[in-house]
Amino acid sequence: MDLAKGIIAPIITPMFEDESINERELKNQVNRLIEAGIHGIFAFGTNGEGYILSEAEKELILSVVIEENAGRLPIYAGTGCVSTKDTIRMSKMAKRLGADVLSIITPYFAKASQEELYEHYEAVANAVDLPIVLYNIPDRTGNVLLPDTVARLSEIDNIVGVKDSSGNVDNIFQYIEKTKNRDFSVLCGSDSLILQSLMAGGTGAISGCANVFPRNMVGIYENYINNNLEEAQKCQDNIKSFRGCFQYGNPNTIVKTAVSMLGYPVGSCRRPFHQVSPEGRVAIEKVLRENEQLGID
């Protein structure tokens, strides 16, 4: 099973109006993504609202995703917590349920030194025998994984990759450059930079837009690896209009709203992160209608 490469979808978490988990629609989304050619599924990442789910809900979601997937794709689980102790506990839970890869966000809220971050990931890697993908998203966490720290961590056997959502293309390039002599994956977490990252030596992306346009996002990667750069660029350009809608709210709220508008009963994001302005909804509907007419899905 190929790990940490291709287009990995951070699957949204469907909810009913009372904010409980809609297991039936979650299963439907798993199959929808697989049928679109996605290369992996990431449960309760940022787009899955992992930041606002209880531990019991995470266990339920991961169980449903793994069961419905039935071994077809690698399953990633977002098990990062603020403390090392809790991250290890959640990572062991994911292993017990059958996850293939751990995606571990940096600790957040409290400022951490690079040495503290190194020791945090080292401890988790030593405690849980599963492949680990580091997750750098400093705008949300307040902590940044510097390229030199990623290079050090890449020397630990079961730390197999990093996802960068900094939006800083130079940071991605440095991750690639400093780990190029190891069997280590660099995944792009900024959908606008996927093709640029691949051309620099990246291995794929964890793409929020894959929840809305899964076939198109797969097209970026598949066309690139088949040396069809013109088509890969076309697929990359296809998401510009949708990403323009991110000005109207939290990006994962925009993504979930769009999936709902496509006719899937996924519900809203959990409060208080659930609102999209009327102006924003009109803009999303317009983009979805235009992309449907262009055959972008």
Q: Catalytic residue positions?
A: 135, 163
Cis status of the peptide bond prior to 272, with omega within 30 of 0: yes
Q: Which two tokens stand for residue 73?
A: 């794709």
Which of these, 198, 199, 201, 220, lies nearest to 209 by C-alpha position?
Answer: 220
Cβ-based burial of 65 (10 A; exposed 0-12, middle 13-18, buried ≥19):
buried
Tokens of 140: 């949300």
Sequence-distant (6+) residues with CB within 8 A of 285 are 261
For residue 235, the cross-strand partners are none
Q: Which residues of 220-256 are buried (b: 16+ CB within 10 A; e: fewer)?
A: bbbbbeeeeeeebeebbebbebbbebbebbbbbbbbb
Where do we find the tokens 């307040």? 142
Q: Got the DSSP string for 79-112?
A: ---SSHHHHHHHHHHHHHHT-SEEEEEPP-SS--
**What is the rounded CA–CA span in Å between residue 17 and residue 253?**
15
